[in-house]
């Protein structure tokens, strides 16, 4: 029986000719990732394992991005612990504040992940790198510790749902609208334990930034991973973003699903039919076309995160905000995902647009997405955010509410003060 793209990558990394859904395997890891919240626990487990040296100091990537720049004294202690471990172990992929970015925007940009890799990260949105044709999944701190110690992780080989994409997205419709509408269709556990494998001619109409956003939110459908085939768009992206760390010895490998690969289900998605989409509180599956959300008042708009903190996201927001002002009742917070995205915002004049519109333009951080800092919501407050989760209390007080959308809807909402359709401005 044929294998899916995910199964072929896993088989190759487990030294096996074949794997089937349900098999338990141990796979070799190309990258092990952690952040300032999950790494301290991983360090403790790593010591408990009796490990003394990481399996490869060039394949461990540590990024202080969640509570960094240090939001308080305890955060400073957690970041310092990560920094100390980096020094002790000689880890070459560490990005200090001022060079760091939000991990899932940063790793592809720096070329630390590539097609054909197997990647684990102690962060649930590690599934982002499936956009490049890699197998990439989120794990906990103990798995991260095991990965650092042995360079291996255990996996149950997942079955797959195939999403056959056709057509071309309409004006202003992007990756966020596509993935939200898919989650609205299949639900937050619609792909539980499974791969979401995207195929079909519609993929050629999606930029890398669209694909990163789509793969990023596979976890919000419960999936183990989301994955895109490798095409000319992928190759052009990887060529434009060569690995900054030659010691990683990255190897670009394009895997393809077998023609007779077995999928549990095939879901057809016509991209031209997808509308600008908003997920209502308190689950990402509560999706509605933007027209049904119009008029809902918001206190805060956040544009950024590992989901929508890339160059195209900043551009989409800047186009709407140019020559306009943020509504007096709204606090707009724009957070580019990395220093490179930040610089691009300056070069293109978008930073000036955000500031002149009356918005905050922040250094890269995960901050508000998880209710950490830089825009925590108070009781009864309402946010529209380009982030990925709208659970109760996710961005602050359990009495606050979060609506999720893409950057164009977010920018229009900031201007109008109520959830708005950017095509009508």
Partner 1 sequence: MGKAFVYGDHVDTDGIIPARHLLTSDPDRLAEHCMEDLDAEFVGRVEAGDVIVAGRNFGCGSSREHAPVAIKASGIRCVIATSFARIFYRNSFNIGLPILECPEAVAGISSGDAVHVDFQTGVIENETTGKTFQARPFPPFLLQMVDSGGLTNYVKQALEQEGK
3-state helix, strand, coil in the chain (%, to 5): 40, 20, 45
Q: What is the DSSP string of 203-219?
A: GGGS-HHHHHHHHHGGG
Sheet order of strands, 265-270 included: 225-227, 195-199, 160-166, 265-270
For residues 342 and 313, what is the distance between their CA atoms, to the nearest angstrom? Answer: 12
Nearer to partner 1, 50 or 328 (CB): 50
Give the one residue of 15, 24, 273, 346 binding partner 1; rule: CB under 8 A: 24
Q: Which of 193, 240, 268, 273 binds partner 1 (CB under 8 A)?
A: 193
Other C-beta atoms closer than 10 Å to the C-beta of 294 total 17
DSSP state, 220? G
Residue 39 to residue 93: CA distance in whole angstroms: 14
Q: Based on CB atoms, which residue is closest to partner 1, 49 or 267?
A: 49
Task: Tell me whether residue 173 or residue 183 sits nearer to partner 1 (CB atom).
Answer: 183
Question: Would you count residue 126 as binding partner 1 (CB under 8 A)?
Answer: yes
If the CB atoms of residues 340 and 385 are measured against partner 1, the closer one turns out to be 385
- Bridge-based pairing state of the strands 287-289 and 277-279: antiparallel
Site string for partner 1, 379-418 (x = CB under 8 A): ----------x-xxxx---x--------------------
Give me the DSSP letters along 241-281. S--S-GGG----------TTB--SEEEEEEGGGPPPEEEPT
Stretch that binds partner 1, among 82-90, 209-217, 355-363, 368-376 (CB under 8 A): 368-376
Look at residues 28, 154, 20 and name the one whose alpha carbon lies nearest to residue 8: 20
The residues that bridge with 28 in the sheet, in sequence order, are 152
123 is an interface residue for partner 1 by CB under 8 A: yes
Of the candidate residues 6, 38, 89, 338, the single one contacting partner 1 (CB under 8 A): 38
Least distance between partner 1 and beta carbon 299 (Å): 19
Footprint of partner 1 on 133-192 (CB under 8 A): 138-143, 145-146, 149-150, 154, 156, 188-189, 192
| Binding stretches for partner 1 (CB under 8 A) | 24, 37-38, 40-41, 44-45, 48-51, 53, 66-67, 72, 74-75, 78, 121-124, 126, 138-143, 145-146, 149-150, 154, 156, 188-189, 192-193, 219, 222, 224, 283, 370-372, 376, 389, 391-394, 398
């Amino acid at each position: 029986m044929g294998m899916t793209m995910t199964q072929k990558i896993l088989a190759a990394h487990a030294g096996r000719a074949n794997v089937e859904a349900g098999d338990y395997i141990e796979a070799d890891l190309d990258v092990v990732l952690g952040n300032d919240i999950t790494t301290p626990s991983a360090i403790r487990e790593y010591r408990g394992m009796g490990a003394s040296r990481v399996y490869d100091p060039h394949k461990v990537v540590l990024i202080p991005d969640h509570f960094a720049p240090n939001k308080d004294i305890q955060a400073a202690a957690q970041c310092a612990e990560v920094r100390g471990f980096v020094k002790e172990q000689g880890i070459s992929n560490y990005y200090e504040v001022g060079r760091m970015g939000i991990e899932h925007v940063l790793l592809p940009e720096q070329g630390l992940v590539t097609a054909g890799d197997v990647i684990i990260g102690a962060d649930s949105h590690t599934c982002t790198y499936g956009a490049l044709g890699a197998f990439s999944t989120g794990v906990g701190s103990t798995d991260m510790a095991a990965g650092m110690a042995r360079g291996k992780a255990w996996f149950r080989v997942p079955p797959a749902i195939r999403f056959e994409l056709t057509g071309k997205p309409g004006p202003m419709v992007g990756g966020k609208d596509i993935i939200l509408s898919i989650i609205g269709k299949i639900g937050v556990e619609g792909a539980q334990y499974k791969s979401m494998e995207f195929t079909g001619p519609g993929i050629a109409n999606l930029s890398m930034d669209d694909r990163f956003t789509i793969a990023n939110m596979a976890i919000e459908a419960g999936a183990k991973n989301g994955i895109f085939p490798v095409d000319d768009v992928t190759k052009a992206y990887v060529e434009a973003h060569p690995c900054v760390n030659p010691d990683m010895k990255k190897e670009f490998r394009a895997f393809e699903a077998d023609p007779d690969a077995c999928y549990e289900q095939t879901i057809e998605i016509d991209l031209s039919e997808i509308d600008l989409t908003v997920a209502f509180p308190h689950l990402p599956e509560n999706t509605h076309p933007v027209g049904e959300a119009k008029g809902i008042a918001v206190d805060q708009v956040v544009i950024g995160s590992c989901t929508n903190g890339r160059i195209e996201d900043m551009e989409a927001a800047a186009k709407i905000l140019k020559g306009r002002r943020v509504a007096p009742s709204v606090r707009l917070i724009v957070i580019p995902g990395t220093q490179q995205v930040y610089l691009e915002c300056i070069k293109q004049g978008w930073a000036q647009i955000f500031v002149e519109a009356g918005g905050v333009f922040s250094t890269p951080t995960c901050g508000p997405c998880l209710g950490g800092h830089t825009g925590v919501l108070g009781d009864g407050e309402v946010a529209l955010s380009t982030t990925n989760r709208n659970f109760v209390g996710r961005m602050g007080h359990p009495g606050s509410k979060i609506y999720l959308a893409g950057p164009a809807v977010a920018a229009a909402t900031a201007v109008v003060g109520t959830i708005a359709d950017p095509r009508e401005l």
